[in-house]
Structure 1
Amino acid sequence: MTTQLDSTATEPVRPARRRRRLPDTAALAVVLVALAIFFSTQSPFYLTPNNLLNILVNAAVIGIIAAPGTLLLVAGQFDLSVGSGAAFIGVVMAWSATQWGIPTAVLLALAAGLVIGMVNGFAVTVLGINALITTLATLAILRGLGQVIAGGQTLLLSGFGDLGNARPFLDIPVPVLILVAVVVVMALVMRFTVFGRSMYAIGANPVAARLAGIRTRTMIFGGFLLSGLAVSVGGLILVSQLGAASPNAAMGLELSVVTAVILGGASLAGGRGTILGTVLGVLILGTLNNGLTLMNIDSFWQDVARGVLLLAAVGFDQLRLRFLSDK
């Protein structure tokens, strides 16, 4: 008798959860398709295979960094130092390559990304500093260190173009292949691993998660490490594509990453977000930037569009939270 009551009580819950999640990704898909249709009517070049591939290439670095950024936001944390971090990684790569060669420079750049994640994670989990203050501080620190190492100049780098420009498989550029790999791995981590489920629990209720035996500090620290590693990969791709490293590179990258993650349905309050939603958010941003460029819209208006998207996404999230709290 008890089993029957339990089964009937749980049956309505699953469809309700699906109904809450479906409109998020469905609405994003509709927006993406609508943008594609609009820009295809404005430019004959939009739907060409080369242009669609360009959208993916230009969105690759944002998507690579946004994937672990989703995991952090799900846990109620975020990393605003990713833009200056990517520029710093590029400078480390270019400077080290002239000293010890490209293989050693790649290892040093990856290690630098992990150190960035360790510093952010230590400040947040051990020192107890708010993630906003921590990553704003490291944003300034990394931008300044990049200027110091580069001497305020752009550093040229040759012999490292394959990572950002090679097309080894089905004429698909390496950055797109890396993006697909990162997205698949992060989706599996968030959905099927204890680490991923723990981050959801931490974001939903950190006190309850700690009482349930989840090592919240360790999990959040791991999230910042993944973010630092993704920043290092993104920075290496950027310097490979450009053949040079500038301490002023990747300006506004953190805005694009945060916009994509929140636009994808992740909540600032934590406990909510998916990699699929983030991917759709990244594609919407990439489509918008590409379409406006094809329409010869000034790049400053593209910044305005990204800001409006971020404001709309956060506003929608706040309205959703208010609606749920009223119920």
Structure 2
Amino acid sequence: MNAQVIPETSSAARRTWWNRTPELGALLVVLVVLVAVFSWRSPFLLNGDNLLNILTTLAVTGIIAVPGTMLLVAGQFDLSVGSGAAFGGIVAALAGTGHGLAAGVAAALAAGLAIGLLNGLLVTVVGINALITTLATLAVFRGAAQLLGDGQTVLLNGFDALGTVRPFLNVPLPVLILLAVFLLAALAMRYTVFGRSLYAIGANPAAARLVGIRARLLLVAAFALSGLSFALAGLILTSQLSAASPTAASGLELSVVTAIVLGGASLSGGRGGIAGTAVGLVIIGVLNNGLILMNVTSFWQDVARGTLLILAVSFDRLRQRLTPADSR
């Protein structure tokens, strides 16, 4: 009898240890290793201006990754973020040119909110899978951006402050916005009913409904936040370039999903966090910047992001297999 029990107990212990492995700690180790390697190969990585450059480059991706984390925690996706950002930028440029900058900003935010609500309603009311829904709207609004801009870049003069001004400690405004968004989201996910409900929905949707959580309403709200975030990202890109391009933010969804999954969010829902996404985002930024400093062709950045995504998803699936069913 003992010979049968001991292996079983040992196996359970190993699965418990694996399940409790601190993901954030492991990510920080990876980040430290990357910083050490690239600092050894280039003395410019830890330069103050270069660090600000990394954060500025990450601002657009990070702002979108925050509500993306909320959605993935709830078991949902939004892959329309790149085309939504481009569409918002085109709307801002066209409205801003004809009716003033304030109207352009308002129009872009309204467009992003409308896209987010559309995604949310299609998923929760119509019942279309989020992956299919947002893949479809990705194509729809990339085409819509091309149509509105007639396939051309649309200039928007006088709108450079949002993307370039440095109002505090010489830190660019997009970085300050990114930090504020991450802080507010971390507090919301940890201390509010909204955040805790998203975890409950992702972990067990049926049980969440039984305890009175209004899952549909909360998911629509999360998609709406995603829409506002990629509209804001589109505004930042437009401000940095003083122009909006219908091809802007192409492939942005890959960077967003990679940061979120690398940060520990499960594709099955119910697990993940803003802190993990932040570290995952910085890992991507350091990797991309380090490759540039080493004069590696930019095409390898796409290879690196794709490889990171595969590794992150593989780790997530392996963890699920080694986690006892009753502790998931």
For residues 306 and 269 of structure 1, what CA distance do their matches in structure 2 show? 21
TM-score, normalized by length of structure 1?
A: 0.93
* Match in the other structure for 1:174: 173
Q: What's 1:12 paired with?
A: none
Q: In the alignment, which residue of structure 2 is the partner of 1:137?
A: 136
1:17 shift after superposition:
9.6
Can you give the 5+ residue segments of structure 2 that lack an aligned partner in the other structure?
A: 1-14
Q: Tell me which residue corresponds to 1:278.
A: 277
For residue 225 of structure 1, give the secondary structure of its aligned residue in structure 2.
helix
For 1:70 and 1:203, how far apart are their aligned partners in 2?
11
User: Is structure 2 residue 294 aligned with structure 1 residue 295?
Assistant: yes
For 2:83, the equivalent position in structure 1 comes to: 84
* Residue 128, structure 1, aligned to residue 127, structure 2: yes
SS at the partner of 2:105?
helix
1:228 aligned partner? 227
**Correspondence for 1:118:** 117
Q: Which runs of 5+ in 1 are unaligned?
A: 1-15
Code of the residue aligned with 1:213 in structure 2: it is G
Encode CA deviations 1:75-131: one digit per residue, 9 max, x unaligned: 000100001111111111111111111111100101111001100001001100000
Output the CA distance in 2 between the equivalents of 1:17 and 1:237.
Answer: 44
Three-state SS of the structure 2 residue aligned to 1:126 is helix
Q: State whether residues 19 and 322 of structure 2, in contact with CA within 8 Å, keep that contact through their aligned partners in structure 1.
A: no
Structure 1 segments of 4+ aligned residues over 3 angstroms from their partners = 16-22
SS of the residue 2:127 aligns to: coil
Deviation, 1:41, is 1.0
Distance in 2 separating the partners of 1:21 and 1:192: 22
SS at match of 2:152: coil
* Cα distance in 2, alignment partners of residues 213 and 175 from structure 1: 38
Corresponding residue of 1:93 = 92
Contact 2:18 2:322 (8 Å CA) reproduced: no
Show the 5 A alignment for 1:1-327. Answer: 20=19, 23-325=22-324
Q: In the TM superposition, what whole-angstrom CA distance separates every residue of 1:150-206 from its partner, at most 9, and x where no partner exists?
A: 000011111011101000001010000000110011101110111110000000000
Aligned CA distance change for structure 1 residues 182 and 265 (closer, same or farther; 3 Å): same
In structure 1, what residue type is equivalent to 2:165?
A: A
- AA of the residue aligned to 1:153: Q
How many residue pairs match? The answer is: 312
In structure 2, what residue type is equivalent to 1:117? G
Deviation at 1:19, TM superposition (A): 8.8
TM-score in terms of structure 2 length: 0.93
